[in-house]
A and B are shown apart, each in its own frame.
Chain A
Amino acid sequence: MSSLGAQIHVGPLERARDRLARLGGPPALRFAGRRLLTAIPVLWGVTLLTFIAMNSLPGDAAQELLGANATPAEVHQLELKLGLDKPFIDRYWHWFTGILHGSFGHSLASGQSVIGILGADLPITLELIAYSLVVSLVLAIPLALVCARWPNRVADKLSLGVSMVGLSIANYVLALILVYLFAVKLNVLPAIGWTPPGQSVGGNLKSLTLPALSIGLPLFCFYTRLLRADLLEHMQSEEYVVTARAKGAGPWRVLIRHALRNSVFGLITIVALNLGALLGATVIIEDIFGLPGMGHELLSAINTRDVPVVEGAVLIFAVMVVAANFLADLLYSLLDPRIRYGGSAG
């Protein structure tokens, strides 16, 4: 991408990038700057695609809001009020400049600002994601170590079988099975609802436990398999492992201090890259457990055709994925100095 841009013409983007590069500073910073600049056109495209998806598809927002009994005159009046009579480009430009000024518009249903609505939901979704990640990693890292310590033995074979099921089970199926076991049969965890942390921290964690398990358990299988394979690869091929062994380090020490330290870079990157799939999972899990997060808001906005809220939520989801990918690239290069910063960017 970068060399391609230089071949065609030197635009403002390339000039800004060159200037950034000439600023010097640590190469990691320059790498970050270059990555940030390539993320900008993707982000812009994301806003355009979001708007096209929501505006050029069939379905009449004004009619939907007023109900089937509305007269054509009423519908027309609302369309004028919402600016739906203006050309597509004008509406997009209005929306896009609004975003640049930090405004996503107002909900058609409640009139509240979209930022306000989604801002209140975002922490719940983020807490759910964080909880799921903690669950998956706390289980995955020790199990992967055990599997890599004794490959093809009982623990490894067992974890393989569990992973096969765990990776194939849909999270909404797992969620319902967990609800049946822990809420209906054992009655130890709530099946639905959300307790704000201000009310009770323990209750808050309890209300998020089943949702976090529904997302976290398949992830746990996924991370275990990846980390195990990576650890084994390091143990079999890397010279520093041979050196450490030759110096008399015990098998656990080699595994944890040497192989794991290197594998963790890859794992962090995978976690960051995987965030997109995770965000998708929160939508359906929040719906099942009645958590008032972003995904729940998105679904109810979809059902009422509250277009500004849907646009805002989809855009925030997409921006989070782009940001996570950017972060993954950055982390990978920062954590592992062997990665070259230059070369084949893009």
Chain B
Amino acid sequence: MAVQPAEIAAGTVPVELTAPAAGGGRLLRSGGLALSLALLVVIFGACFIWPLVGSVPRPTGGSVLNANLSIGAPGHLLGTDPVGNDELSRLLYGGRASLEVALAVNALGIVLGGLLGALAAYVGGVLDAVIMRFLDMLIAFPSLVLALAIAEGLGPGEVHTIWALAFFSVPAFARVARAETLKVRERPFVAAAQLAGSRRWRILGAHIAPNILPQLITFAFLGMGITVVLEGALSFLGLGIPAPAPSWGNMIAQGQSVLSAQPRFVLLPSAALCLAVIAFNMLGDALRARWAG
């Protein structure tokens, strides 16, 4: 089983979700790519564009007089929550918060982790040892535990959640970047650039970065799924995005108290969260299969 320890530690082990290449595999795989892309377009469109162009009520500040309206109530497609906020609006705005955090965390991972990993592999020697030992220490913490400790220190809030989660996304990306850079470093065009007298930074930026970026982006889609789940966990525990602003995680936490009477307040945000994670996982998986050939 050729699995990198760092990937397991970060909870991002590549597991083949699509069928193996034999038989109808290729069809299923390209089907997975199209399906997951379509799903993501719908999810992102609903969360980021619909509230701008459509008439979606505010996700907070609802009136208690409107509380607990059932699904399909006039003006409230998915009803309202126990304090009278429109449930659909909360789902959309909540998704926006969750996806924003996930995007920022993975962007930080690609940039910082990619830089650290590529630098470690390309320069090698002491720098490599120092960077990798430091990242080993970060990976030694169970991701949620470290994120909890940092989020607690910084206090709840969207930006703080991003920093807390970046603490484990950066080492994971750095691992991938390092492994890929080690491969690319041996390719003839890097030697050619070195012989032509290019500077280190130029080789890193112009020759190595474009070649490791596809792997990092593929990894980022799997990372998006994990980040959405972890952001949900932090918000669920009250250390992520603070109420009354919605996020899928804190919506699930609020729904927990009325789970036995009205399970829809748990099920709706849970379904949205799972759908997004499935889409990210499928896309990451399909892309990886594509790169692998």
Contacts and interface: CB of A to CB of B under 8 A. Distances in A.
Question: How many A residues are at the interface, by size bracket?
Answer: 35 or more
A321 B140 contact: yes
B232 to A, nearest CB: 6
Contacts of A273: 3, 5, 8-9
Interface string B111-151: 00000000000000110010001101111111111101110
Contacts of B148: 283, 298-299, 302
A206 to B, nearest CB: 19
Contact of A180 (B134, B140, B259): B259
A277 B255 CA distance: 26
Contacts of B5: 273, 325, 328
A222 B129 CA distance: 32
Interface stretch (A45-53, A65-73, A74-82, A249-257): A45-53
Given A170-B273, A170-B277, A318-B140, A277 B11 contact: yes
Contacts of B137: 42, 45-46, 49
A276 interface: yes
A157 B136 contact: no
Contacts of B27: none
Contacts of A6: none
Contacts of B220: none
B13 A169 contact: no
A234 B259 CA distance: 46
A273 B1 CA distance: 12
Interface string B234-256: 00110100000000000010011
B126 A8 contact: yes
Contacts of B1: 226, 229-230, 263, 266-267, 269-270
Interface in A48-103: 49-50, 53-54, 57-59
A346 B136 CA distance: 11
Given A41-B133, A168-B274, A176-B256, A302 B149 contact: yes
Nearest to A277: B11
B2 to A, nearest CB: 9
Nearest to A271: B8
B266 interface: yes
A270 B126 CA distance: 30
A274 B15 CA distance: 14
B152 interface: yes
A302 B150 CA distance: 10
Contacts of A305: 152
A134 interface: no
Given A165-B274, A180-B260, A284-B236, A276 B142 contact: yes
Contacts of B3: 226, 270, 273
A280 interface: yes
A305 B149 CA distance: 10
B153 A54 contact: yes
A176 B129 contact: no
A46 B144 CA distance: 15
Contacts of B143: 276-277, 280
Contacts of A276: 8-9, 139-143
Interface string B156-175: 00000000000000000000
A277 B226 CA distance: 11
A178 B117 CA distance: 41
Contacts of B274: 165, 168-170, 173
Interface in B274-293: 274, 277-278, 281-282
Contacts of A328: 5
Interface in B183-198: none
A277 B8 contact: yes
Contact of B266 (A165, A180, A313): A180
Contacts of A173: 252, 266, 270, 273-274
28 contacts: A1-B129, A46-B140, A49-B138, A53-B150, A59-B152, A152-B22, A165-B278, A167-B15, A167-B281, A170-B273, A170-B274, A173-B252, A180-B263, A222-B15, A225-B16, A225-B17, A270-B3, A276-B142, A277-B9, A277-B143, A283-B145, A283-B148, A284-B236, A288-B256, A302-B149, A317-B141, A321-B9, A322-B140
Given A277-B143, A322-B140, 6 more contacts: A45-B136, A49-B137, A164-B278, A170-B274, A222-B15, A280-B145
Interface of B: 1, 3, 5, 8-11, 13, 15-17, 19-20, 22-23, 125-126, 129, 133-134, 136-146, 148-150, 152-155, 225, 229, 232-233, 236-237, 239, 252, 255-256, 259-260, 263, 266-267, 270, 273-274, 277-278, 281-282
Across the A-B interface, give the 6 residue pairs with the lowest CB-CB distance, nearest first. Answer: A57-B153, A280-B144, A280-B142, A266-B1, A45-B137, A277-B11
